[in-house]
Structure 1
Amino acid sequence: MLRQLVSGLATICGYLAAGFLAAIAVATLVQIIARQFGQPVETTELSGFFLAASTFLGLAYTFVNGVHVRIGLVSEFAPKRLRQALEIWACTLAALIVGYAAWHMTAFTLQTYQFGDLSPGMLAVPLWIPQSAVAFGLIVMLLSILEQASLVLRGQKADYETNVDSAVE
């Protein structure tokens, strides 16, 4: 059940990431059309927020589906036991790094909310809003790494290995 929850969160984040990419395109299109009518519309700041959200929300989805850049040359030709040890080591290191980033980004987002910080641009958006997308994306990425590590620890193939094979075909 936990596996379905984490997988569902990663999928939702993937769709949100795609939506934010589409929002960048729409914002840029609005800016171009407005410029043709002599109305300057500034969307750079908003597009930057959308880009950050898209990048971090897309992390877990791309990881679980095997489309992150991975160097599998060493583990690909290693014996099964060594390969499993390498996968566990990689997942542990990734969990530590992403966990550290998630912890600090979440703390930073809460601090920004408490202080009521606003973006310095023309929109004056409360900064905790775009920061929360980054923090949430990192948390879901951490959960996905831990879930994939649990598969490897049980001797199963991780989804990022099995899904990449079907994505290539």
Structure 2
Amino acid sequence: MRDWQPFLGLPLWVWLFVFPALLAGFCLIRGKTAKRILAPVWRFLDRVYVFAGVIAAFFMLMILLLIVAQMISRWSGLTFPGSTEYAGYAMAATSFFALAYALVNGSHIRVSIFLNMNEHTRFWLDALATLIAAVIATYFARYAIKTNIMSVVLNDRTQGQDYTPEWLISFFSMFANAPSKWGQIWAETGSGWVYTPIWLPQLPMSIGTILLAVALWDALTRLLVNGETSIVGEAIE
């Protein structure tokens, strides 16, 4: 916990773990009140998960198009520099953006041997498993973001042949800078292509893991309020 910098006067781990755990406790104790407060949030998050699933589907389609483009370029004797790297980036984006959507739709494997012992232990074991998963996913998300930051600090670039237009890099850089710096960012933006900075294809990893952590805390609150899990799907015994 030594490298968890404070945020708004409190250590980051308090925001990431203590406050969500307190919210979960509130949902367990005051279920009806929590349901009334969180219902709009749940509806909003459901839309976010669907949107993430749409993005994952888009990148899956991009994988297909890139493979077809590779085939055409090979047949025509042309070169497609960086095609393998672009396909890899699209595959990673597909995987990470789909995490939360797959979770809430029951597409992840859930082993329910112990959950099926009886109804009383089912609830508590399900809550415990979801809590542990949420904590692990939150750790993963935190260090995924830290990986992004380190890539920016080190100016880490691709080792392949893939290039990225400078305007695209500037566009995503805007979200990590204050609006007062946006003018400077675009003033320094050229019209050429540069080797892909590693932080750019790492963004889906950070976003996807954040959404997964949110989805797990979300699933925990719904479980504690409603008395049953909101994750519906076939379980592998």
TM-score with structure 2 setting the length: 0.65
Rounded Cα–Cα distance in structure 2 between residues aligned with 1:156 and 1:84 = 7
* 1:9-48 to 2 correspondences below 5 Å: 9-42=48-81, 43-48=83-88
State which of 50, 58, 68 in structure 1 corresponds to 2:98.
58
Rounded Cα–Cα distance in structure 1 between residues aligned with 2:85 and 2:147 = 20
CA contact (8 A) 1:6 1:140 kept: no
Runs of at least 5 residues in structure 1 that lack an aligned partner in the other structure: none
Higher helix share: 1
Identical-residue share of aligned pairs (%):
25
State which of 96, 103, 112 in structure 2 corresponds to 1:72.
112
CA RMSD after TM alignment: 1.3
Q: How many angstroms does 1:72 deviate by?
A: 1.6
1:140 matched to 2:211? The reply is yes
CA contact (8 A) 1:109 1:128 kept: yes
Rounded Cα–Cα distance in structure 2 between residues aligned with 1:87 and 1:7 = 21
- The residue aligned with 1:157 is 228
Q: How many angstroms does 1:81 deviate by?
A: 1.9
The number of equivalent residue pairs is: 162
- Tell me the amino acid that sits aligned with residue 134 of structure 1: M
Give deviations 1:140-159, integer Å, cap 9, x for gaps. 00000001101111243222
Secondary structure of the corresponding residue to residue 73 of structure 1: coil
State which of 101, 124, 139 in structure 1 corresponds to 2:140.
101
- Larger Rg, first or second structure (1 or 2): 2
1:121 matched to 2:146? The reply is no
CA contact (8 A) 2:223 2:230 kept: no
Runs of at least 5 residues in structure 2 that lack an aligned partner in the other structure: 1-39, 163-194
Q: How many angstroms does 1:13 deviate by?
A: 1.0
Higher strand share: 2
- Tell me the amino acid that sits aligned with residue 98 of structure 2: G
